[in-house]
Amino acid sequence: MSMVAPKGRYARLEKIRLLEGSAFAGNMARDLMYLRRLDADRMLYNFRKAFGIQTDAEPLGGWESPDGLLRGHSTGHFLSALAIAVSATGDAELAEKLAYTVHELRVMQLMSKGDPAAFVTSCTPEDTDQEKWSRDPSVWGEGYLSAYPPDQFALLEQFTPYAKIWAPYYTLHKIVAGLLEAAERTGNTEALDCARGIGDWVYARLGALTPERRKRMWSLYIAGEYGGMNESMARLALLTGEGKYLEAARMFDNENIFPSLAEGEDSFHGLHANQHIPQIMGAMLEYEASGETRYRRVARSFFDHALRHHMYAIGGVGQGERFGEPDVLAKRIKGGTNCETCATYNLLKLARELYAFDPENAELMDYAERALFNHILASQDPREPETNAVTYMLPIGPGAEKEYSDDWHSFTCCHGTGMENHVKYPDTALFDAGETVYLNQFVPAEYGDDGFSVRVDVSFPTGEGRITVKGSRAVTLKLRIPPWCLSDPFFAEGLVTAGRYAVLRHESGAEQIIGVRFAYRTRLEFTPDLTDDGHRLAALCYGPFVMVTSDPSKEYLTLAADAHAEPLTDRFGLSFSGRDFVPIYEVHGMPYHTYFKIE
């Protein structure tokens, strides 16, 4: 292994405290309440049933129902969310719940015996009856752990299509990702042992297959979806220094799209969006673990194409979970099935990883701000104080209305990522590159790390206040200047502008105050194409916010391009073209419009 180190690191969540009163703090509080309410034994129900262990817990619903083919994936997200929440809050109750869940999973994993490559299912692609699945962990292979026996994996190797099977490696990725979060964020050695066991099983099982068979498997729509298994295997290699896990990561390389992406081509249009974005995140981890630059080219090319040719104004992508043709957006907005929240979750992870190797690239953090403020923040329903009700799709069509999951009966992929999203808002805000520290997001919070602290007292959403810098460490502080500003937003003695950053030298022991005033610019962001009836569409933006207006009509509303925008007097928002507009994160329980025909 020839590892490549990032150019710094992000401020650790345990060193960050969200300031009270913002929408971010409110969403985080609801998520934390939900994680406290979630019963670990219910999250373990399907695992115990698979391993033949008696349980009195109630099963869950949605994709976690006892006969669901994707059961167990939410338990992986549960682990991740708990680990992130413990890191961000130090909450002892959540820490105990995390340790209990990891231990119970490890106990079951140790029941799996035998050669991973030797397991054979009694089923066929024509007959996948779950009643015929194995009930004997002694033949599942050492290290195996999932909420169902390994029959789905064996059936995938026979190219069984979706929906006779459903993405077994996707579920496995969520589990191992959660274990690695627990190991990295909380130092849980049992979680690392459990993750290594899964890695060993994967290495043995896939290593017995030819590259051609694996390539065909990963080409299968949804059945072959493997989430970010290459990411988790590469991360395991980085944590342990063991090259076999990097070899396992390479076994998931999608040779149908990686080579062309490395050459700068858009080879993913028409494909399932969230099936492929995690693979690209995996490519970046493979770059970090191997030093092979082609993996970084794959990730950079994918991200550039996605942002420039596939992204809607809120930072989301896709219609009906699929990427369309490049620059074809207006024709794909109607219908309410745009912008899967999981896809934005994964694009944010990718932007974060890319930036760690390119910290002067403010455009990556521009995207992070757009997606965080307009999709992730908007994806939770704030009307229930103890519920983390979140969106699957975040619709942007005319007259769309957000639909939310419930606590127990509608577990989906986006309910799973939704457990994580709202406890890690500031995780891209502060990047420490040693002599230079970058402040990229202006989420109201206090960041203290290694003799240097930054407090962002900037009102949200109005964007005024101050940033306080102090500490014993001398650094150069760089503050990202958002592209939507009407004027320089920061003012302090000694502050200079260099490209996309305002630069301030902080000397040891000093306390410096930086004034902040974000002068928001109103603008229309147009789609690159026309609707079927020949109209251009645009979203109305005000500073970093995508603004929406309430209206039940299922036809596009029309705005006057030359209308004058006036701030609302009773709340944050705009009056424009005879209508009131508010940020998309504020709209709940009513139909709204995000895109408009422009006169």
Residue 87 is assigned to a structural domain of this protein: yes
Contacts with 20 (C-beta within 8 Å, 6 or more apart), sequence order: none
Burial environment of residue 311 by CB neighbours within 10 A (0 to 12, 13 to 18, 19 or more): buried
Which tokens sit at 62?
A: 């949605």
- Exposure string over 345-380, b if 16+ CB within 10 A, otherwise e: bbbbbbbbbbbbbebeebbbbbbbbbbbbbbbbbbb
90, 162: one domain: yes
Of 184, 217, 252, the domain-final residue: 252
Residue 324 is assigned to a structural domain of this protein: no
Which tokens sit at 490?
A: 């920061």
168, 214: one domain: yes
| Residue 516: predicted pLDDT | 98
Composition of the chain by helix, strand, coil, percent to 5: 40, 20, 40
What pLDDT, in 10s, does the model give residues 181-202? 999 999 999 999 999 999 999 9
Of 184, 219, 252, the domain-final residue: 252
Inter-residue contact 335 to 280 (CB < 8 Å): no
Evaluate if residue 519 carries a pLDDT over 90: yes
Checking phi first, is residue 463 left (phi over 0); if not, alpha (psi -120 to 50) or beta? left
Query: Distance between CA 7 and CA 431 in Å, rounded?
Result: 9
Average pLDDT over residues 368-387: 95
Inter-residue contact 350 to 284 (CB < 8 Å): yes
552, 508: one domain: no
| Residue 449: predicted pLDDT | 76
Rg from Cα positions in the chain: 24
Query: Distance between CA 198 and CA 217 in Å, rounded?
Result: 19
Place of tokens 């309430």: 550
499, 555: one domain: no
Place of tokens 């040693």: 434
Evaluate if residue 213 carries a pLDDT over 90: yes
Of 204, 223, 252, the domain-final residue: 252
Residue 467 sits in a domain of what CATH number? 2.60.40
Place of tokens 């925008």: 565
SS3 252: coil
Residue 533 is assigned to a structural domain of this protein: yes
Output DSSP code: residue 437: E
Contacts with 458 (C-beta within 8 Å, 6 or more apart), sequence order: 442, 444, 464, 465, 466, 467, 516, 518
What pLDDT, in 10s, does the model give residues 157-186? 999 999 999 999 999 999 999 999 999 999
Residue 213 is assigned to a structural domain of this protein: yes
- One-letter identity of residue 99: A
Residue 258 is assigned to a structural domain of this protein: no
| Residue 366: predicted pLDDT | 98
What pLDDT, in 10s, does the model give residues 433-473? 999 999 999 999 999 877 899 999 999 999 999 999 999 99
58, 198: one domain: yes
208, 83: one domain: yes
463, 526: one domain: no
Average pLDDT over residues 49-77: 97
527, 459: one domain: no
Average pLDDT of every residue of the chain: 96
Domain with 457, as residue range(s), is: 431-517
498, 548: one domain: no
Burial environment of residue 51 by CB neighbours within 10 A (0 to 12, 13 to 18, 19 or more): buried
| Residue 365: predicted pLDDT | 98
Residue 81 is assigned to a structural domain of this protein: yes
> How far, in Å, are 388, 392, 405, 406 from residue 380 at the CA level?
7, 10, 9, 11
What pLDDT, in 10s, does the model give residues 129-147? 999 999 999 999 999 999 9
Confidence of residue 80 (pLDDT cuts 50, 70, 90): very high
Instruction: Give helix then strand counts, H and E, for the chain.
Output: 17, 21
560, 449: one domain: no
Residue 303 is assigned to a structural domain of this protein: no
SS3 422: coil
Query: Distance between CA 357 and CA 296 in Å, rounded?
Result: 10
165, 232: one domain: yes
| Residue 451: predicted pLDDT | 85
Confidence of residue 336 (pLDDT cuts 50, 70, 90): confident
| Residue 385: predicted pLDDT | 84
Number of domains within the chain? 3
What pLDDT, in 10s, does the model give residues 102-116? 999 999 999 999 999
| Residue 434: predicted pLDDT | 92
Residue 581 is assigned to a structural domain of this protein: yes
96, 204: one domain: yes
Q: What are phi and psi of 451, to 5 degrees?
A: 75, 20
What pLDDT, in 10s, does the model give residues 379-412? 999 998 889 999 999 999 999 999 999 999 999 9
Average pLDDT over residues 569-593: 96
* Count of C-beta atoms within a 10 Å radius of residue 403: 14
Query: Distance between CA 446 and CA 454 in Å, rounded?
Result: 6
